[in-house]
């Protein structure tokens, strides 16, 4: 694991073999909203809208749905973080990998929305600003909700990222 003076670790360009540039499908649903809708629907996934279902599937929520349904909001976040760490990166969908992509770009190319947009275009992920915006909103929003990213996209919880990268 590479380390630098500013950060605890240097985030690699792939997450345990999963490309952070492929299958980064933009969506407009964030984790918090999806969970609120799931709880309001008493766990009935069929009542979720298509974009909520994409988030549900991206995070493999079915595996922890009952725990999520009966937990406090604070405990829910810890459950989600442990769950993400338990999954191999190839099992997670775009919404979840968007968090890592936002952190990677912030560390390597600079923090903030504009730098992220430039990277998305330059790296070939998408040439559409709306797509870059959707990826940014979901990745940053979900990362902030989980307490692992700051509002500018930089890493807040280095221990989480180190475990995510190492698979431990």
Q: What is the pLDDT of residues 138-160, one digit of tens each?
A: 999 999 999 999 999 999 999 99
Stated pTM of the model: 0.93
> Does residue 72 register a pLDDT over 70?
yes
**pLDDT value, residue 166:** 95
Q: Is residue 22 domain-resident? A: no
Domain for residue 125, yes or no?
yes
Give the integer Cα–Cα distance in Å for 11 and 33. Answer: 28
Is 3 a domain residue?
A: no
pLDDT at 105 over 50: yes
Residue 112 has pLDDT above 80, yes or no: yes
What local confidence, expressed as pLDDT, does residue 6 receive?
A: 54
Q: Are 91 and 60 in contact (CB under 8 A)?
A: yes
Residue 35 lies in a domain: yes
| Domain-located, residue 108 | yes
pLDDT band at 28 (very low <50, low <70, confident <90, very high): confident
Q: In the chain, how many domains are there? A: 1
pLDDT of residue 22: 86
Domain that includes residue 44, residue range: 27-166
Tokens linked to 99? 């968090």
């Amino acid at each position: 694991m590479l380390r630098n003076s500013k950060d605890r670790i240097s985030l690699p360009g792939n997450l345990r073999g999963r490309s952070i540039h492929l299958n980064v499908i933009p969506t407009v649903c964030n984790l918090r909203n999806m969970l609120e809708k799931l709880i309001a629907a008493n766990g009935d996934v069929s009542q979720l809208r298509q974009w909520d279902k994409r988030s549900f599937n991206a995070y493999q929520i079915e595996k922890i749905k009952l725990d999520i349904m009966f937990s406090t909001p604070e405990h829910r976040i810890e459950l989600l973080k442990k769950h993400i760490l338990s999954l191999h990166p190839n099992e997670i969908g775009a919404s979840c990998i968007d968090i890592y992509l936002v952190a990677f770009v912030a560390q390597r190319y600079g923090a903030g929305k504009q730098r992220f947009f430039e990277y998305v275009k330059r790296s070939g992920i998408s040439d559409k600003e709306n797509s870059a915006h959707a990826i940014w909103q979901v990745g940053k929003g979900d990362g902030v909700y989980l307490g692992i990213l700051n509002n500018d996209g930089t890493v807040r919880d280095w221990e989480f990222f180190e475990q995510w990268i190492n698979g431990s």
